[in-house]
Amino acid sequence: MKIKKLIDNRQIGLLGAIAVLLILAVFLTPSLFQLGTIHLTIRNYSVVGILVLGMMAVILTGGIDLSIGSELALSGMLTSLLMAEHPEIPVLLLIVIGVAVGLLCGLINGVLVGKLYIQPIIATLATMNIYRGATYFVSGGKWVTSSQYTDSFAHLSGGQFGLYNIIWFLLVLSVLMSIFLAYTKYGRRLYAVGSNETSSRIAGIKASNIKILAYVIMGGLAGLAGILYSANYKSFAPNIGIGMEMDVIAICVLGGVSITGGRGNFKSVVTAFIMMTLVSAFLSMLPGMSLWTNALQGSIIIVAVIVNLLTERIAEKHALYSRKI
């Protein structure tokens, strides 16, 4: 009950922060509440939201993936180049190819971490540079420009029922991920491995395979995000995605996903995503404040990690006190 209460308190705190931001925005940036602005803000941040779903799975196992921006760039660049050079290729096949590239990148990361036991931060720092180098190699350092986009591929950036397609992708994937984490044995095993890998092995869980699964999920979502990014902005450069991992990690830890693994509430992560989307939009509309975005992200990560650690210690002390009684 105590842990559940702490999680609920976190959500209340995040909702309170959102309320404060909204009140400030009413006076400082009233244009933020225009329907068109809200729609565009969510669309622009939906790629980050898709990446958050995968990163949550990775962090739950006690891992981290610094290569997500490079995975996004590689899959997005490959599909964009294929689209430009071979316009006869069906869009569905391009999506399959892009996701497959992401899955392969995720599999490589998973094997390095799960089978070769390389520290996640080292493994993904290395693959981040490898995938980025591959992106520059296949593109020759050049952009894919708007004039090269086919109508069918650009149609991915359209909308259905009043929302952009990328927002629908985010909503559907969020529902699927919440179901996966809460109601499937593999989702629960992500928590088990991150909470206590040794105990999970004793219980018969193949921890290495679960870690690989988490990185493969991350890679597949990064691959899809690369395609959607390309379609939405109708241009693609080899440097796309640099630094995007900071946004994603900040949202996860702000949402209460323990950086050491094993703990994380999906609803809190969704709330944190909404808050960070508002922060990003709010700062971008204030003169000169957009320059402070990176500093704010770093500060949020540090504060959120400290809060997570304090929360875990309070929960542990309460559990110990209860046993003594």
- Check residue 146 and give its pLDDT: 80
> For the segment 35-55, what is each residue's pLDDT rounded down to a tens digit?
666 767 778 889 999 999 999
Decide which of 276 and 286 is more confident.
Answer: 276
> For the segment 160-184, what is each residue's pLDDT rounded down to a tens digit?
656 788 888 999 999 999 999 999 9
32: pLDDT strictly greater than 70: no
Provide the residue ranges of all domains of the chain, joining segments of one domain with +.
Answer: 9-23+34-317
Cα–Cα distances in Å, from 258 out to 99, 185, 228? 28, 20, 29
What pTM does this model have? 0.86
Average pLDDT, the chain: 84
Asked whether the CA dihedral 305, 306, 307, 309 is positive or negative, the reply is positive
Lowest mean pLDDT among 55-69, 121-135, 241-255, 297-311: 297-311
> For the segment 105-156, what is each residue's pLDDT rounded down to a tens digit?
999 999 999 999 999 999 999 999 999 999 999 999 888 888 888 888 888 8
160: phi then psi, degrees, rounded to nearest 5 = -135, 135
**Geometric angle at alpha carbon 180, from 254 and 169, rounded to 5°:** 75
Is 9-23+34-317 CATH 1.10.3470?
A: yes
32: phi then psi, degrees, rounded to nearest 5 = -60, -25
Decide which of 32 and 7 is more confident.
Answer: 32
Q: How far apart are CA 99 and CA 107, in angstroms?
A: 12
Q: How far apart are CA 179 and CA 173, in angstroms?
A: 10
- Check residue 288 and give its pLDDT: 60
> Is residue 112 classed as helix, strand or coil in its secondary structure?
helix
323: pLDDT strictly greater than 60: no
8 A C-beta contact, residue 101 and residue 161: no
- Check residue 3 and give its pLDDT: 46
252: phi then psi, degrees, rounded to nearest 5 = -60, -50
